[in-house]
Structure 1
Amino acid sequence: MALAADLSTLTDALITSVARISPSQKGSARTQTLKRRATGALRTGAHTRTDQFAVAKQLEGLQEKFQILNRDELAEALQSRLAELEKKRSSWLPEILSLLLQLSDRPALVSSVQLPEKNAKAPQAKESLSWSDIRDEGTAFNDEEIWEQVDFTADSSDDDFSSVASDASFPRRRPQSSTTVEEGYVVPDDIFLPAENEDLVASIEKAQFWKPQNHSAVPSGKASTSRSITESQLARETIFMLQGLPTSIFRHLEDRISVDHRYTLAHSSNEALASLLQCFSEIGTKIDGTRRFTKVPQDIPYMQTFCRGIEERILGFDQVLSQIQCKYLSPGSTISLLQLLADVRDHSHELNLLSEMIGKLGNHLTDQPMRCLDLLYDLICMLEALGDETSSGNLIKLFFQCFKTYTRSTRLWMETGQVDALDSTFFVRTIRENGDLRTLWHDWFVLDMGDRRQKIPQFLATSVQKVFTAGKSMVFLRHLNALPETAESHEDDTTPESTLPLPFSALVESEFEKIVDADHSVSAGLLRMELDQKCGLWSSLDALYHVYFGKDMSATSAIDAKVFEIMDRGRPWDRFLLTEIARTAFLPVPVIDTSKLLVRPLNTARGDETQTRSVVSLETISIDYGLPWPVANIITEDAIHSYQRMSTFLMQIRRAKYSIVKQRLRDARTSPDESDTLVNVLHHNMLWFLDFLYGHFTYLVISTSTQALHKSMSSAPDVDAIISAHQHFMTSLEVQCLLSKDLSQVHEAIIGILDLCVHFADLQTAHFIGNEDQGSYAGHTETPHAKKNSEDDSDSEDDYDHDEQSHEHTLTASFQDLSYSQQVRKTKQKFDYLTTFVTDSLKGLTRADGPPSWDILADRLEWRQR
């Protein structure tokens, strides 16, 4: 009972502490629930005992791990302590050991064993072994095999060591060497030279010619400060200088190497020696500048390759100097500074050329990243022109190494459509990603050529656009989920083919074109197929022809009738009504998706009611047809605006003809007036002008240009060519249809003729309903003829007259200032003037290299005047 009471008290304290329950809530339902759960969890037998066999297995594995990691002292210490624990066995021992194992933190790395200090045995001194004690025969330590790399894979298992490396993450311990001399250390005498080698020491000291005591008396005729040396010493100093080592005769002063003229040769004049040393110093200055250039950090990838190529050539030059030095050190060799100069000039020719090229680079690599590649290209072309095949051949290898590195970003762009963000010299720059797919081709990427095209090598300028197109094609295909299968890498395609008898410039162009064409042809061809077969390019073009150019006049006439009726009634535009009219009219056309058709007014306010009948008011409505995003990249928004302008112009012509024909139908129901010849002539001329103008634009201009468009787009090699063909098509239509900015006066004159036709029709209508007698066309007062029509509703022929009366307030004709006959003559004069102006303007523009269609239009209009 006492145990139960204590357990209950402890449980209450635990709940109060953890759940933070106030003393006033100890009897609440929540407290009782928590107590019941805690008591159940603490009930005897709720948790099982630790598996002692699993603990023993973990300890054995830990010992084995210590041994594998060369921590035998830890393994022995752990084994001894486990044996000691076995003597003091406890029932809770497995739980204690399991807890210690779970709390352990990298025992193989941070654990250490304190070795006993007392009763420790002194380490036995190992017998020293020298190389002379090892026999060359029958051992594995002879001179031929001792420096070979040992293969450890034959006697070990990678799986065992990989598991050990994954379990233990600690740094590999290396023996640390100390340069301090231990206390009590006595330097052995055998490391000093014996006394009998005093001659060797003297010869070494005498060889140090830079010391004043090693110079003999100055010969007569030479400066008192001169120091005579041997040709062997001078050759050695020269070789050291060329290898970039400090010397006494040659001194490094900033960016040049100077000669100490105090040193002379006994068998040479000072002038001859100075000239010879000056030649060596000039070569050394160039080579030293090249060495300094290779030590400058480079951020441009191909410049890193260029520096590596220079380092290889410097290393080869140093090897040649070492071979010359070895030859001089061989017994019986003859040392000649003149021969040394000839050898140095022969083997340093490429380094001297590269040094001069590096001098032209300056510090403008950031502003002109392609200058080094251009200079190397020009240098090789110059050497090839001079006939230096050896130097040009070696530099060609260096050039193609750099060129291979440079084209990595180009290959990545053409093969995957990705821009290497780490390459700041690449000429393609990403503007936006994951934006509007309809502008992918035009707005997502741009050619960043830099200031004065410094990001593009001069020898690749002709192929840059094709590279740009190939990469954009891959981006296009990726968004279409139509990427081609991974092609073979062109990593080695930039290696020049020496068997081709081509000059270097042609060889570079052919190699680069081979890389570009291999990727461009694949991506461009696949994208063309996707656009033709799956994206609906041709069906979209046909739909635009129907919507904007009125290919099916049955649908276009239905739209015109409704739109022109709204204009005659003077009502404002209603975008819902206009859209419904257009969708209903084009519903039978199979190539048009009517759900993508939208007619919207640009301005719902019509302004003056008398201006609603003008053809200019048609410019306030816009017909939009939604294209799939792949097609929208080819037929851009600017092209759609051009389509809309031409569609509006054609509708304006149809509006003028609609007014003339409607008025003519009304006149046909009245008795003809044979005396009104002028009205009949003007009516005929206007209809003839409108029919010919509309036929010229539709059948001659638009139809012929559309056939040429289909032909050019079918033969286009890539998307850029398709876009260019369509842009040329739209530009040609705007010019031939008189919609370009340069033809604004001619276009305004034609719009004036169209409004004049509408005005003439309104003039005839006003004359018909009797407003000439009223002096005004304001329809507030009913004429007798109008009243008669209102009373006789059963007469079907009078419905048209009643419609004219309801539209009377929108007519553009008025007889307040001029009579009907005067206005007819004035309309005839204005019509003749405008047609003459259009004819003369077109003839003048045709003589100034205008399109042939202008000449045809001008001849037909002039023929009417004859």
Structure 2
Amino acid sequence: MAQHAKVAALTDELIHSVLNFDPTANKRAYKHAKDVAKQGLRAHHYPRTTQFDVQATFAGLDEKFRVLNRNHLADALDERVREISKRPAKCIPDCLPAETTYPPPELTWKDILQDDPHRDDEIWKDIDYAADSSEDDLLPTKIEVAKPSPPTTADEDDTYDPQACLVAVDATAVVTLEEAQFWKQEAEPEHGKLDITELHAIRETLFMLAGLPNSLFHADSRVGPEYELRHAMARTTNHLLAELGDIGRAIHRLRQWLKRPSSLPLVQTFEAAVTKRLLEYHRSLALLQSKYLVPEEPTTVSLLELHNNVRALSRPLLRLAQIVEEIEPQLLINPFIHLEILFDQISLAQMALEDDIFRFLSHIFFDCLQTYLKPMRRWMENGELGLNDETFFVFEDDSSSEASSLWHDRFVLRRGQEHKLRSPAFLEPAAQKIFKTGKSVVFLKELGLHTSRLPAIAKEPRLNHEAVCGSLVDLPLSPFSELFQAAFQMWIESKYSLASNVLREYIFTDCALIQTLNSFRIMYLGANGSVFQDFADAIFERMHVSQRAWNDRYLLTELARGIFSAELQTTQSERIIVRSQRKSCKSLFASVKVLSHILLDYALPWPIMNIIQRSSIPIYQQVLSFLLQCYRTKYLLQRISPQSIREIKDSGLRQLSYKLRQRLIWLADVLRSYLTGTVIDPCFADMRAAMSKAEDIDEMSAIHMNFVARLQDHALLSEKLKPIHKAMISLLDLAAVYSQQHASLEGFNPRWTRQRNSEKKKSRRKSILPMKLEEDDSDSSDVGDDESAESDLPIATEQEAVLEGIDQDFGRLLPFVTAGLRSVGRVGAEPVWEMLADRLEGEGRCGQ
């Protein structure tokens, strides 16, 4: 009975909602509709579900699932059957849903319209309730609208009145809308202008500023002359509207520029930043419009107030429009010109205390800077360059360069006109560090240490407005340029220090840079005088014993390795290679210049060759040759013993020989002491101290190049000191000439030996050119003491003339050297040259 009562209540509610009339007004029609509804809603009786059939179906499904290898479905079904079985009730089989494995098809409008098409013409006709009635009464022609019945208590459904959803139409709205369209009205014939309200002018101005069509302003944002505000002075109104039009014209040019997009990522980022600020500007204009359209409180309509608000709102955007207009012709040539201009304008706004413009441009600048930082970050972290990236200031010049010149030749800085770096001006102070960091990463990759030695990259510092300028409302006290440089240096250091420290440790520890420099000091610069003396003496002895094969490179290499192994490690001494240029044997004793053809090489590992470059090796060779020439001079003079000079019969010749030997030995000692004590030791000490503090390969290479250049200058080997060096070599050559002359004196002295070959008479020489003595192969016959005595006079006279010529050349060349040293010392402000000149002049005065 409860079910029938509920159905009856729902039927009454359905009839009320469909017929929409009062049952008391027409009981027959209501009764007829109720009978029709009951026939459609008559009850149906179904038998109950047998629980044994349900259990059999479950068992069949379980077996089926397991046969189909769907054990997970069978297990899930079994689990749920057991759960239901724990709740005994006689209605459970009726409550179980009949679910299928596949979901039912989705209902579509095609299926709905197939059964009940909406084009049926009868569907919208009124129902003729008298057709089914047995009575002759007709339905009333006019059906009164009854009030909706309240919701029944049979069910707590949410019900509502459809009439409540209808909104009454205001008949005056159309009239008001037509009156607002002032542009359709005709001008007054008296003065040919149309009077508009101040609200109309404000609305049209906001449309113009937003770039929308309007009637008050023309396409170029000029005010139309056909409108006026009667309640205000024409000049005042026109002035306000003209200024507002200027603002709109500038912003319109900004929109037009955005319609011509660029293909460069840097410019695209700038365009996106400008677009974002334009959208924010449009939102602000929309808020101004809502103020007059739907005011929340009484609002005064004032064009002057709008003018002030728009000026304050548009001021940053107008400055941006001015920047865009300035840089637009240059963007294709210089794609980062906007970064430079923004940087300058931010600094200018800070100095002018324009807080709004400072913050507005600063945020745009940092938005654009992030795109420029991407290739920089990739270069500093991975040593990679973008393909044909013309906007980055680093590019690969020679990809096939050797590893020994990787640091100096493979990558270069991109420069433009007047050798100016192709990067934003505010980044130039840090460009070298950025360049070095990327090269350090490439260097580590070549060594295979990029992944093994470099730890995980730490989180880089932020580089935005808040990180640089702070989050305070007021302007920062420090200049923006200083704040940015400090923050940017921190950003670079987070990447620079990591790669630079790893590479520096590898160069000093694994490649043993300092040990290599010490080896160069021993081999080329004579740091260990005893070992270097042994090396020089071994070469000189070979020159006297075997004149033809003395410079054999294999023998000299083994000789050098054996001698220097006393000071160097085995792995270091095995890197030594000696080369020699073949020269005539006749000049071995005539000049010390032949020693410049002995070249000492050292096989360097390629990482060290990026620091000790190939161009510095010839300077080491020159210093080595100069030292060997000084040692050669001392060696030749020491072979002339004072005892042999004392046995010279002629007293004048004997005194002159003593004098020359003393002066030449003194010269060789002074030069050797100057080179080793005054030049090499201080220069090397300064270089080593600076090298221990170097941070990267660039600094190490620069320190070594400065050391080599200083060594070359102080050792009198540079191009500007070439005349002085030649005079020095000529002074040392006098020792070779003197040695030859003394050997000839021994051949003609009857008290020494009679096994010397007779010499041809020589013409007297007063120049410093070496003498080439030719020996006669014929055996000399024994002569008596009287015949020897007779021949001693002309020979002694000739030898005395040669020795006097050597003495004169020495007295002529020494003042030239000292004067030259003093001259270049005053020009170059080098005290070492003055010191050497003082020492040489002191001997010159004593020897006169």
Deviation at 1:436, TM superposition (A): 1.4
In structure 1, C-alpha distance between the alignment counterparts of 2:157 and 2:350, rounded to whole Å: 58
Paired residues of 2:758 and 2:776 also in contact (CA < 8 A): no
What is the match of residue 686 of structure 1?
Answer: 664
Paired residues of 1:769 and 1:786 also in contact (CA < 8 A): no
What is the match of residue 432 of structure 2?
Answer: 465
For residue 387 of structure 1, give the secondary structure of its aligned residue in structure 2: coil
Q: Does 1:216 align with 2:187?
A: yes
Of 774, 778, 792, which residue of structure 1 is paired with 2:774?
Answer: 778
Distance of aligned partners of 1:234 and 1:558 in 2 relative to their CA distance in 1, 3 Å threshold:
same
- Deviation string for 1:302-354 (max 9, x for gaps)? 44333322222211111111121122223764432221111111111110111
Distance of aligned partners of 1:341 and 1:842 in 2 relative to their CA distance in 1, 3 Å threshold:
same
Distance of aligned partners of 1:683 and 1:783 in 2 relative to their CA distance in 1, 3 Å threshold:
farther
Distance of aligned partners of 1:784 and 1:555 in 2 relative to their CA distance in 1, 3 Å threshold:
farther
One-letter identity of the residue aligned with 1:488: A
TM (norm. structure 2) is 0.71
Of 216, 219, 222, which residue of structure 2 is paired with 1:252?
Answer: 219
Deviation at 1:121, TM superposition (A): 9.6
- Larger deviation, residues 659-668 vs 485-494: 659-668
What is the match of residue 456 of structure 1?
Answer: 423
In structure 2, C-alpha distance between the alignment counterparts of 1:261 and 1:724, rounded to whole Å: 74
Q: Does 1:843 align with 2:822?
A: yes
Of 680, 687, 710, which residue of structure 2 is paired with 1:709?
Answer: 687
Of 629, 644, 667, which residue of structure 1 is paired with 2:606?
Answer: 629
One-letter identity of the residue aligned with 2:536: D
Q: Does 1:600 align with 2:579?
A: yes
Unaligned runs of 5+ in 1: 1-55, 59-119, 129-134, 140-189, 789-814
Deviation at 1:296, TM superposition (A): 3.4
For residue 695 of structure 1, give the secondary structure of its aligned residue in structure 2: helix
For residue 213 of structure 2, give the secondary structure of its aligned residue in structure 1: coil
Deviation at 1:546, TM superposition (A): 1.6
For residue 426 of structure 1, give the secondary structure of its aligned residue in structure 2: coil
In structure 2, C-alpha distance between the alignment counterparts of 1:512 and 1:325, rounded to whole Å: 43
Of 233, 257, 282, which residue of structure 2 is paired with 1:293?
Answer: 257
What is the match of residue 110 of structure 1?
Answer: none
One-letter identity of the residue aligned with 1:574: D
Deviation at 1:686, TM superposition (A): 0.3
- Larger deviation, residues 823-832 vs 305-314: 305-314
Deviation at 1:197, TM superposition (A): 9.1
In structure 1, C-alpha distance between the alignment counterparts of 2:350 and 2:270, rounded to whole Å: 20
One-letter identity of the residue aligned with 1:519: K
Deviation at 1:427, TM superposition (A): 1.5
In structure 2, C-alpha distance between the alignment counterparts of 1:218 and 1:786, rounded to whole Å: 152
Of 822, 826, 835, which residue of structure 1 is paired with 2:801?
Answer: 822
- Deviation string for 1:205-261 (max 9, x for gaps)? 5544444xx213233xx3x4x4443333332222111111233333335xxx43332
Of 610, 618, 623, which residue of structure 2 is paired with 1:641?
Answer: 618
In structure 1, C-alpha distance between the alignment counterparts of 2:711 and 2:619, rounded to whole Å: 9
Deviation at 1:416, TM superposition (A): 2.7
Q: Does 1:231 align with 2:216?
A: no
Distance of aligned partners of 1:127 and 1:410 in 2 relative to their CA distance in 1, 3 Å threshold:
farther
Q: Does 1:328 align with 2:280?
A: no
Q: How does 1:294-693 map to 2 (within 5 A)?
A: 294-330=258-294, 333-421=299-387, 423-433=389-399, 435-451=401-417, 453=420, 455-482=422-449, 483-490=453-460, 492-494=462-464, 495-496=467-468, 497-498=470-471, 501-565=477-541, 567=543, 571=548, 573-591=551-569, 593-601=572-580, 603-604=581-582, 606=583, 609-610=586-587, 613-664=590-641, 667=644, 674-675=651-652, 676-693=654-671
Deviation at 1:665, TM superposition (A): 8.1
For residue 215 of structure 1, give the secondary structure of its aligned residue in structure 2: coil
Which structure's CA Rg is the greater one?
2
- Deviation string for 1:605-637 (max 9, x for gaps)? x26844774222333332111111121111111
Distance of aligned partners of 1:319 and 1:837 in 2 relative to their CA distance in 1, 3 Å threshold:
same
Distance of aligned partners of 1:369 and 1:594 in 2 relative to their CA distance in 1, 3 Å threshold:
same
In structure 1, C-alpha distance between the alignment counterparts of 2:242 and 2:543, rounded to whole Å: 97
Divergent runs of 4+, >6 A:
196-199, 785-788, 815-818
In structure 1, C-alpha distance between the alignment counterparts of 2:294 and 2:689, rounded to whole Å: 81
For residue 600 of structure 1, give the secondary structure of its aligned residue in structure 2: strand
What is the match of residue 276 of structure 1?
Answer: 240
Distance of aligned partners of 1:203 and 1:666 in 2 relative to their CA distance in 1, 3 Å threshold:
farther
In structure 1, C-alpha distance between the alignment counterparts of 2:760 and 2:589, rounded to whole Å: 23
Distance of aligned partners of 1:817 and 1:383 in 2 relative to their CA distance in 1, 3 Å threshold:
farther
In structure 2, C-alpha distance between the alignment counterparts of 1:783 and 1:261, rounded to whole Å: 131
In structure 2, C-alpha distance between the alignment counterparts of 1:612 and 1:293, rounded to whole Å: 85
- Deviation string for 1:749-768 (max 9, x for gaps)? 11111222212211222332
In structure 1, C-alpha distance between the alignment counterparts of 2:440 and 2:335, rounded to whole Å: 27
What is the match of residue 741 of structure 1?
Answer: 719
Paired residues of 2:346 and 2:361 also in contact (CA < 8 A): yes
Deviation at 1:729, TM superposition (A): 1.2
In structure 2, C-alpha distance between the alignment counterparts of 1:448 and 1:556, rounded to whole Å: 47
One-letter identity of the residue aligned with 1:339: E
One-letter identity of the residue aligned with 2:433: K
In structure 2, C-alpha distance between the alignment counterparts of 1:787 and 1:343, rounded to whole Å: 129
Distance of aligned partners of 1:197 and 1:520 in 2 relative to their CA distance in 1, 3 Å threshold:
closer
- Deviation string for 1:690-732 (max 9, x for gaps)? 0110111012210121112211111223333222222221111
Deviation at 1:829, TM superposition (A): 0.6
What is the match of residue 243 of structure 1?
Answer: 210
For residue 623 of structure 1, give the secondary structure of its aligned residue in structure 2: strand
Deviation at 1:860, TM superposition (A): 0.8
In structure 2, C-alpha distance between the alignment counterparts of 1:672 and 1:589, rounded to whole Å: 47
Identity %: 30
- Deviation string for 1:252-296 (max 9, x for gaps)? 35xxx4333233333344433332221012101221122233333
In structure 2, C-alpha distance between the alignment counterparts of 1:501 and 1:232, rounded to whole Å: 44
One-letter identity of the residue aligned with 2:301: I
Distance of aligned partners of 1:454 and 1:440 in 2 relative to their CA distance in 1, 3 Å threshold:
closer
Distance of aligned partners of 1:764 and 1:668 in 2 relative to their CA distance in 1, 3 Å threshold:
closer
In structure 1, C-alpha distance between the alignment counterparts of 2:381 and 2:444, rounded to whole Å: 11
Distance of aligned partners of 1:404 and 1:757 in 2 relative to their CA distance in 1, 3 Å threshold:
same
One-letter identity of the residue aligned with 1:820: Q
Paired residues of 2:535 and 2:563 also in contact (CA < 8 A): yes
Paired residues of 1:766 and 1:772 also in contact (CA < 8 A): no
Distance of aligned partners of 1:856 and 1:217 in 2 relative to their CA distance in 1, 3 Å threshold:
same
Deviation at 1:746, TM superposition (A): 0.6
Q: CA RMSD in A?
A: 3.7
What is the match of residue 862 of structure 1?
Answer: 841
One-letter identity of the residue aligned with 2:259: K
Deviation at 1:442, TM superposition (A): 1.0
Distance of aligned partners of 1:241 and 1:772 in 2 relative to their CA distance in 1, 3 Å threshold:
farther
Aligned residues between the structures = 656
Paired residues of 1:300 and 1:423 also in contact (CA < 8 A): no
In structure 1, C-alpha distance between the alignment counterparts of 2:329 and 2:720, rounded to whole Å: 49
In structure 2, C-alpha distance between the alignment counterparts of 1:595 and 1:290, rounded to whole Å: 72
